[in-house]
Amino acid sequence: MDEKLEAVFWNVQQRNPGEVEFIQSVKEVLASIGPVLAKYPKFAEQKIIERICEPERQIIFRVPWQDDRGEVQINRGYRVQFNSALGPYKGGLRFHPSVNLSIIKFLGFEQTFKNALTGMPIGGGKGGSDFDPKGRSDDEVMRFCQSFMTELSRHLGEYTDVPAGDIGVGKREIGYLFGQYKRISNRYESGVLTGKGLSFGGALVRTEATGYGLGYFVREMLAARGESFEGKTCVVSGAGNVAIYAIEKVEQLGGRVVACSDSCGVIIDEQGIDLPTLKQIKEVDRAPIEKYTEIRKKSQYQRGGNLWNIKCDVALPCATQNELTGRDASTLIRNGCQVVAEGANMPTTPEGIKRFIDAGVAYAPGKAANAGGVATSALEMQQNASRDAWSFEFTDRKLAQIMKDIHDRCLETADEFGVPGNYALGANIEGFMRVAEAMQSLGLI
Ligand code: NDP
């Protein structure tokens, strides 16, 4: 890391003790942008990097609610409004017991550069709660969402901060959150949340967008190597929103997904994952993935298994942060994997990234490869602002073009800075430059 950046990083560590994930994400970006400072020393003089690493606002609040037995439960809510140089804060809400300030800050930091890469007018933010929706009734989830939004609503607005979903937050949760926002504000402000249901201002393709966008991005990565999905074997971690629609797109583009996973285990189906079965289990029944083997008799289930041990040409981590380690990367490389693209945020550890890049595996970071979700959220905001509703095909075409543009820009930037084919550096430099230039223009804020 550049000497000046070392000092900034040391300071970030001192100011954010114990925030492991946040510090990891800052380090990854700072380690990439040395060449930018050499070319544009003004960014250092104006302390743009120090400012970028400090969220504009961090909100932590109590979320009291009553469970079905009438017992009072207390959770903690977060919203980190990281950077609004490019537009209103934009980024999802995560409901998962592991949520803490460090995780929300790392996600908000990553989101800032991801949103910049889309080329759309959106700043970066992230939020959530340590609430676990698993095993809760619809009524409990609704009461939690209402309490969460009662506090969060005062910090939102279509020109201020526009949340969406993430782990544990899908259409059901967004519906309850929007309902409570509408009730409190007495405004039908569709543009205040994205990922909404179609009956109340949602956009076609938003549900599929992150996974589809990932598929389009990988198509471009393969094309850049003179290849295609045709005949390629893929594995996808997770079985949630991103994973399901990544599987769907890979299959549409000619690839075969032979394995996926959830937080309990891995399923392997050599004939290709059967999507209607997977959707029924995870989207409708909200059941463990193990149930898949009851319906697809030739598939196998490995409780607590490691997905990355399965031989594949393309690996798509789509579950959660730090799920793919250095050792997993070595296994994938040994088994002939050629392309790794992240549907999840920061799923590959720093050691894993290093091993992929050293081995010449095409590796795309989440901030580029999973940007299709937030880009389509921005398209949802456009439709809400113009009271319009675009067709599936029209929005999908736009998504594919956005992903191609992000892909090409990452490669061009990597070339420009002397690291051809390095998507990670290309994405970090390009995202950083866009945010830094806007911050410079806006003065000392
Ligand atoms: P979901 O809640 O829909 O699905 C998450 C999936 O990952 C589930 O199958 C879950 O298992 C599994 N999972 C979660 N935590 C763990 C863990 N600790 N170990 C193993 N498996 C785990 O979330 P999304 O699909 O929306 O999000 C997945 C990732 O994609 C996250 O990193 C998110 O930040 C990122 N992302 C999401 C976007 C979106 O539009 N939704 C946009 C961009 C990035 P189980 O089913 O057992 O709970």
329 near 352, Cβ under 8 Å?
Answer: yes
354 is catalytic: no
Which backbone phi and psi does 79 adopt, to 5 degrees? -145, 120
Name the token pair of 361.
Answer: 């595996």
Q: Residue 198 and residue 74: Cα distance in Å, rounded?
A: 32
Q: Residue 403 and residue 392: Cα distance in Å, rounded?
A: 16
240 CA → ligand 1 middle, Å = 5
What pLDDT does 4 receive? 87
Tell me what the mean pLDDT of segment 187-201 comes to: 96
What pLDDT does 1 receive? 83
* pLDDT tens-digit series, residues 12-70: 999 999 999 999 999 999 999 999 999 999 998 899 999 999 999 999 999 999 999 99
* pTM of this prediction exceeds 0.75: yes
Q: Residue 322 and residue 25: Cα distance in Å, rounded?
A: 11
Those residues with Cβ within 8 angstroms of residue 374's Cβ, 6 or more apart along the chain or in another chain:
90, 91, 111, 114, 115, 118, 122, 164
* pLDDT tens-digit series, residues 135-145: 999 999 999 99
What pLDDT does 226 receive? 97
Pairing mode of beta strands 72-83, 57-66: antiparallel
**Radius of gyration for the alpha carbons in the chain, expressed in angstroms and rounded:** 21
Give me the sheet containing 161-164, strands edge to edge: 57-66, 72-83, 124-129, 89-95, 161-164
Tell me what the mean pLDDT of segment 242-257 comes to: 98
122 near 86, Cβ under 8 Å?
Answer: yes
DSSP 99: -
* pLDDT tens-digit series, residues 386-409: 999 999 999 999 999 999 999 999
* Residue among 282, 50, 59 nearest 163 (CA): 59
pLDDT band for position 3 (50/70/90)? Answer: confident
Q: Residue 92 and residue 112: Cα distance in Å, rounded?
A: 12
- Where do the structural domains in the chain lie, given as residue ranges? 3-187, 209-364
185 CA → ligand 1 middle, Å = 31
Residue type, 266: V
Q: Residue 281 and residue 260: Cα distance in Å, rounded?
A: 13
382 CA → ligand 1 middle, Å = 26
Q: Which of 90, 105, 114, 126 is catalytic?
A: 126
* pLDDT tens-digit series, residues 270-310: 999 999 999 999 999 999 999 999 999 999 999 999 999 99
Name the token pair of 64.
Answer: 């009291």
* Residue among 169, 173, 179 nearest 107 (CA): 169
* Residue among 82, 281, 91 nearest 195 (CA): 91
Which backbone phi and psi does 313 adopt, to 5 degrees? -90, -35
| Residue nearest to ligand 1 atom 40, measured at CA | 373
Burial group, residue 281, by CB count within 10 angstroms (0-12, 13-18, 19+): buried
163 near 193, Cβ under 8 Å?
Answer: yes
> 260 by DSSP, 3-state: which?
strand
Indicate the Cα dihedral angle 240, 382, 85, 11, nearest 10°: 0
What pLDDT does 2 receive? 84
Q: Residue 90 and residue 378: Cα distance in Å, rounded?
A: 9
Q: Does pLDDT of 445 surpass 90? A: no
Count Cβ neighbours within 10 Å for each residue of 178-214 and write b for 16 or more, e otherwise.
Answer: bebbbeeeeeebbbbbbbbeeeebbbbbbbbbbbbbb
Those residues with Cβ within 8 angstroms of residue 177's Cβ, 6 or more apart along the chain or in another chain:
93, 145, 148, 149, 163, 193
Burial group, residue 68, by CB count within 10 angstroms (0-12, 13-18, 19+): exposed
Q: Does pLDDT of 245 surpass 90? A: yes
Pairing mode of beta strands 314-316, 339-341: parallel
Pocket of ligand 1 (CB under 6 A): 165-168, 210, 238-243, 262-264, 318-320, 323, 343-345, 370, 373
Please list the residues that pair with 188 across neighbouring strands: none
209 CA → ligand 1 middle, Å = 14
* Residue among 317, 319, 318 nearest 353 (CA): 317
Instruction: Give the CATH fold of the 3-187 domain.
Output: Rossmann fold (3.40.50)
What pLDDT does 312 receive? 98
* pLDDT tens-digit series, residues 79-135: 999 999 999 999 999 999 999 999 999 999 999 999 999 999 999 999 999 999 999
Q: Residue 196 and residue 189: Cα distance in Å, rounded?
A: 12
What is the number of the ligand 1 atom nearest to the C-alpha of 261? 9
Tell me what the mean pLDDT of segment 238-247 comes to: 97
Size of the chain in residues: 445
| Residue nearest to ligand 1 atom 3, measured at CA | 240
What pLDDT does 137 receive? 97
Assign residue 286 a region (left: φ > 0; alpha: ψ between -120 and 50; beta: otherwise). Answer: left
Q: Say yes or no: do domains 3-187 and 209-364 share a fold.
A: yes
Name the token pair of 317.
Answer: 């981590």
For the domain spanning 209-364, the CATH number is 3.40.50.720
